[in-house]
Structure 1
Amino acid sequence: MDISKRHTTLPRRVIFRFAVVAWLACAGTLPAQADVADMLLNVKPAVVGVGTYSPTGRPRANLKGTGFAVLDGSYVVTCAHIFAKPIDTEKNETVAVFLGRDREMSARVSQLVAVDKAHDLALLKVSGSPLATLKLGDSTRAREGWQLYFTGYPIGSVLGLNPSTHRAGLAAIIPIFTPVASAAQLNVRALRQAGDAYEVFELDAIAYPGNSGSPVWHPDTGEVLGVLNSVYVKGAKETALSTPSGISYAIPAKYVRALLEQAQAKKP
């Protein structure tokens, strides 16, 4: 008797039943996938604009970048380079956080309470009622190949106060220092990075100057794994808008956590 032929003549209903049982068994072992659109509803309320405000300025509001609220909702994390230029106190200029939607924007006076220039991070204390917050994730567990997202204001107030969300592949985890092609390209910043290199996230994503400070979050948890702080520019700085490279960088959230601990330790 031909055994192989006996196995190929099972009734179709039996084969179908086995296939369904096998599919259900496999499906039960797969992790549940969060809906990015649903997670975004939790992320966007915590994302704010950051910049300066002057009651006599034109314009009064100067949206320079993005930030996100943490802790009890009275603190906002952003990038330190946004506030590299000194505040003009003679014009009553202040650091500000911007809330609202589209052209309906309100400014909240804020204070720069902690700065980590080495990792390009800043912490603002915001006046008024608490904001919606985001949680920090464990950036040390991030893996190359993950698909992440960041939410922010890509071209500042040009598009109004409408946060945009972009997908970002975690392309590499690399030292921040990149060797220059020639000695002529060496500057103070490059030398400082060479002496104190640390790992950053290289993202396969197009970002713009207004995205500085945008939270980079995981779609399954909404936890922040990094803070977008720079883009790779080909040629002059103006090309960041006209011909973006599609390569961006983010500071891992572990440095944000260290900044928050430092700020909390200074509180009386």
Structure 2
Amino acid sequence: MKPLLLLCLLLPCGLPTARAQLPAQSLEQVIARIKPSIVGIGSHQKTRTPAVQFIGTGFAAGDGLSVLTCAHVIDKLLAANPGETIGILTGQGEVAQFRAATVQALDAEHDLALLRLSGTPLPALQLGDAAEVREGQALAFTGFPLGTLLGLHHVTHRATVSALTPVVMPSANALRLDPKRLAQLQKAPYTVFQLDATAYPGSSGSPLFDPQTGLVYGIVNMVYIVNKGLKEAAMTAPSGITYAIPGRHMQALLLKNNALSSVPAAGAR
């Protein structure tokens, strides 16, 4: 099997609500409403030029002071330089502002991270029930592909749920079975959303949402690589196959860390 690339790049939600309770809007209206909730994930270091860099995407959930993103984005930031301050970027373009955050929790198994802010809450996105998602369903995701190359300008991609598939798929042959993959195969794999959509490094942490309501059903975290696993291939020849972690795992992480007062019963995914 061809390898998967986690979508982060190092370069110089409110309470869950039933879909019927949210009015249908056009995608244009939904994007305008959710953009203030979607942030860049990066770091600040005074001695660096530029002082602020970001490598991924996240979004506000819960009380607006909790931010969800991917664990591999935070791992990369933590490994880069111990002297850096991790945080989020809000706003857009040249008026972007950096806000420091603490890493409240990491869920490596589901590639999720929860950051905690102080100060003024952000408008939080609402989480839907991922068990309602079906193959062929039209969704969308908004984030910051290619990180600082394109700047803090929200980019939205349409997506079709092409399959509900196990997170770990068997390798084509024994030579591709590394220790990490063997450890994953020993566990019961959970289901992820396979999307017919193009994502790039920097898209990690983008909310996967209903284009009519803005309800978040998943979080984008990796892309299928065709060209021998080279990171450059994700930019020069994207496969158009992207994966997202279903929202039930985000709900569990928020509830475990008291970021939600209550959640409805999650579905099977």
Settle same-fold status: TM greater than 0.5. Answer: yes
- CA shift digits 1:143-170 (9 cap, x unpaired): 1100000000011011111010010000
Report 1:23-172 matches (<5 A).
Answer: 34-85=25-76, 87=78, 92-172=83-163
Indicate if the aligned counterparts of 2:77 and 2:86 stay in contact, CA closer than 8 A. Answer: no
The CA distance in 1 between the partners of 2:82 and 2:174, in whole Å, is 42
AA aligned to 2:191 is E
Matched-pair identity in %: 43
1:198 matched residue in structure 2 = 190
**Change in CA separation of 1:90 and 1:205 when aligned onto 2, cut-off 3 Å:** closer
Contact 2:127–2:217 under 8 Å retained in 1 = yes
Q: 2:245 aligns with which of 221, 232, 251?
A: 251
CA gap 1:224/1:89 in 2 versus in 1, 3 angstroms: closer
CA distance in 2, matches of 1:147, 1:88: 36
Instruction: State yes or no: 1:241 paired with 2:235.
Output: yes
Higher helix share: 1
| Structure 1: gaps spanning 5 or more residues | 1-31
Question: Where does structure 1 differ by over 3 angstroms across 4 or more consecutive aligned residues?
Answer: 85-92
How far does the alpha carbon of each residue in 1:51-77 deviate from its partner, in whole angstroms, 9 at most, with x for none? 111121233112010000011110100
The answer to whether the 8 A contact 2:42-2:77 is kept is no
**1:232 touches 1:245 (CA, 8 Å); kept in 2?**
yes
Q: From the superposition, tell whether residues 161 and 261 of structure 1 become closer, same or farther in structure 2 (CA, over 3 Å).
A: same
| Partner Cα separation in structure 2 for residue 226 and residue 262 of structure 1 | 18
Q: Does the 8 A contact of 1:148 with 1:169 survive in 2?
A: yes
Quote the Cα distance in structure 2 between the aligned partners of 1:91 and 1:183.
Answer: 38
| d(CA) in 2 for partners of 1:124, 1:144 | 31
Q: Corresponding residue for 1:228?
A: 220
* Contact 1:57 1:91 (8 Å CA) reproduced: no
C-alpha contact (below 8 Å) 1:55/1:92 kept by paired residues:
no
Does structure 2 conserve the Cα–Cα contact (< 8 Å) formed by 1:54 and 1:91? no
User: Larger radius of gyration, structure 1 or 2?
Assistant: 1
TM-score normalized by the length of structure 1: 0.83
Q: Which has the higher contact order (CA 8 A, sep 6+)?
A: 2
TM-score in terms of structure 2 length: 0.83
